[in-house]
Chains A and B, each alone.
Chain A
């Protein structure tokens, strides 16, 4: 099994390597004439005003947190899915309980307007 992981590591390394080489090639082939106007930040043609920060919006963080929770739940369900053929109905009912608890959480979030884009 270990050689499979080795192949994956090699594949990841190569897939990181190929675009890096391509961009390096483009950097060699392309002209390089930096000018202050070219390098300035783009804002529809007018000058930037104020520092580059956006207002804190809890909505983005909430989506990431919701994703994390559902991700962990799904990952916990995968061993059950792999062993499914060998599990009796009783085991399936237990997992149904697991999913229903989290579905209740989803309903709670829905009711409290967590999914409304402010």
Chain B
């Protein structure tokens, strides 16, 4: 059992546990904190796969921006310090659906022909972030998705400003 396998197992265990705690937390704000731990677990997963850029971007964007946004949303709603009660039947139905989905995914993974082969180690050229940068501005590779991403961000910006800013003379 190499060191990497140990780290992967610990990370997987912690992430799954954090996910379970996230779904079953009584207080909403604790669920927010468990979410941050889960996201951190994903970042470590990226690091283990030697995708350093993605790991750090996960930290910057997800933990540094999205998690704070979610915590803001939690705090700006009412009754966040109080506990939320869910009905018994709702719990059972949800867990059944989740189990079926999990079974389906596991089945799909196990019947996938490449599930038992190891991943190839990345070549030095493939690992560099410069390669990613070159691919993003190459017209034959990922330029169009790059520009479309900027349009998507623009749409999100316009939508957010339109919804959040009080129109002068209208009610909120």
Contacts and interface: CB of A to CB of B under 8 A. Distances in A.
A–B contact (CB under 8 angstroms): yes
B90 to A, nearest CB: 27
B170 interface: no
Given A108-B157, A114-B161, 9 more contacts: A58-B164, A60-B72, A68-B69, A69-B160, A86-B130, A98-B146, A102-B150, A105-B157, A112-B161
Contacts, number: 137
B149 A76 contact: yes
Interface residues of B, number: 50
Nearest to B137: A91
B162 interface: yes
A69 B157 contact: yes
Contact of A95 (B61, B76, B137, B166): B137
B50 interface: yes
Contact of A105 (B69, B154, B164): B154
B55 to A, nearest CB: 8
Interface string A48-82: 00001100111111101111110111011011111
A87 B137 contact: yes
A56 B172 CA distance: 11
Contacts of B21: none
Contact of B61 (A53, A62, A71, A114): A71
16 contacts: A57-B76, A61-B164, A65-B156, A68-B69, A69-B153, A69-B156, A69-B160, A75-B57, A79-B136, A80-B133, A82-B132, A83-B130, A95-B137, A98-B147, A109-B157, A112-B161
A2 interface: yes
B9 interface: no
B69 A108 contact: no
Interface residues of A, number: 49
Interface in B130-150: 130-134, 136-138, 143, 146-147, 149-150
B124 to A, nearest CB: 10
B162 to A, nearest CB: 7
Given A1-B50, A98-B147, A113 B165 contact: yes
A87 B76 contact: no
Nearest to A101: B150
A83 B131 contact: yes
Contacts of B172: 58
A60 B157 contact: no
Contact of A1 (B52, B57, B162, B164): B52
B65 A71 contact: yes
B60 A71 contact: yes
Interface centre among A72, A75, A106 (most CB of B within 10 A): A72
